Each structure stands twice: as C-alpha cells, then as structure tokens.
Amino acid sequence: MTPALNGKTISLRALEPEDLDFLYRIENDVALWQVSNTTAPYSRFLLKTYLENAHLDIYQAKQLRLAIVQNSDNQLVGLIDLFDFEPQHRRAGVGIVIDSIARRNGYASEALALVIGYCFETLHLHQLYCNISTENNSSVKLFSKFGFVKTGLKKDWNFTNNRFEDEAFFQLINQNSFLER
C-alpha cells in the first residue's frame, strides 16, 4: 500500500470483493440515505457489479471509493469517496461515512487527513468540496477542522424527516497549488 494512504490507526485501501457485505449494509442503511440522496435499496447483485468495476482509474470513472480499515486488525470501519472528479478544473467532491459502531474513534479525522494529502500531493488537485446539512454538526466540525470553509448555503435544499433542511457548501482550496493564479 502507498505510504501516503497509511495513518497511525487506519489505512485507506481499494475496495475488495470481500467488502460486499459491509457495502450492502452501509448502502441500505435508511438512516444514511439522507446524506447520500438515496431513495431505494441496492441489491447485492448491483453492488457486486460495482465492486467488479471498482478497479477503474479515477480519471476513467471520475470517482474513487476507498475503504477505511483499522491497522490493528484490518477491520473495515468506513468508506471515503471522491466524486465528481474534474481533472481539467483540478477539483473533486469528498464524502465520508463511518460505521455506527466505529464512530467517535478519530477514524473520520485520520481518513480525511490522508485523503486530503493524497488529493493535493498525488492527484495535484486545487480544491476539494463537500455538501453538508446544516443540521449535521459532527460533519461541519470535522470538515471545518481541516480548513474547509463554508462558501455557500442552499436554502431548503433537502427534504428530510418531513421538513426541509438547508445544505452548506464547503471548499478547501490548496494554497500550495503549483500553478500560479
């Protein structure tokens, strides 16, 4: 594994076929549908097909999903996604989910730090962005801790729990970008 994707307590790795059960559970967790804009369950067949194509390069697929695994026992604890990858504009969206039983252990922070380094140092991106419900204080705190700045607000953007919620747009601009502005 690339040293850039290894942290103190977790590592980021490519998805493997044996991740199917974890992926099936996460993708079909109704409590997470609001953050992923999912409205219907995923079949094992569809997710198995997805895993078979997960080897595609980020430049081909325009996305990359990495497994977050504990270094101590190689246990899968979450996923971190790069999506809407735009190499011409040198940007990508980022999203993260930690299994409910593994939360509050610092895994999200460590995974986000690793993926930021990977994006800026290996992919040479200029910026990362994310969309976060203003009600999701944990995610707002996490991304803000790493320098993501709220640059926009989408009013009444998502209909969740029988009411509309605002969604904030956060950006992290790479101040060390090798291109002059």
**CA proximity to 85, closest of 49, 38, 124, 32:** 124
Q: Residue 132 belongs to a domain with what CATH number?
A: 3.40.630.30
Q: Tell me whether residue 92 is in a domain.
A: yes
**CA proximity to 34, closest of 171, 104, 112, 134:** 134
- Determine the Cα–Cα distance for residues 93 and 8; give it in Å rounded to an integer: 25
Q: Tell me whether residue 101 is in a domain.
A: yes
Question: Model confidence over 20-35: pLDDT tens digits?
Answer: 888 888 887 667 666 6
Confirm whether pTM is higher than 0.85. Answer: yes
Question: Model confidence over 39-92: pLDDT tens digits?
Answer: 667 777 777 777 777 777 888 888 999 999 999 999 999 999 999 999 999 999
Domain count of the fold of the chain: 1
Q: Tell me whether residue 181 is in a domain.
A: no
Q: Tell me whether residue 180 is in a domain.
A: no
Q: Tell me whether residue 15 is in a domain.
A: yes
Range of the domain at 64: 3-173
Question: Model confidence over 102-139: pLDDT tens digits?
Answer: 999 999 999 999 999 999 999 999 999 999 999 999 99
Count of Cβ atoms closer than 10 Å to residue 63 Cβ: 15
**pLDDT value at residue 114:** 97
Q: How many CA atoms lie within 13 A of 77 on its CB side?
A: 23
Q: Tell me whether residue 179 is in a domain.
A: no
- Determine the Cα–Cα distance for residues 24 and 60; give it in Å rounded to an integer: 24
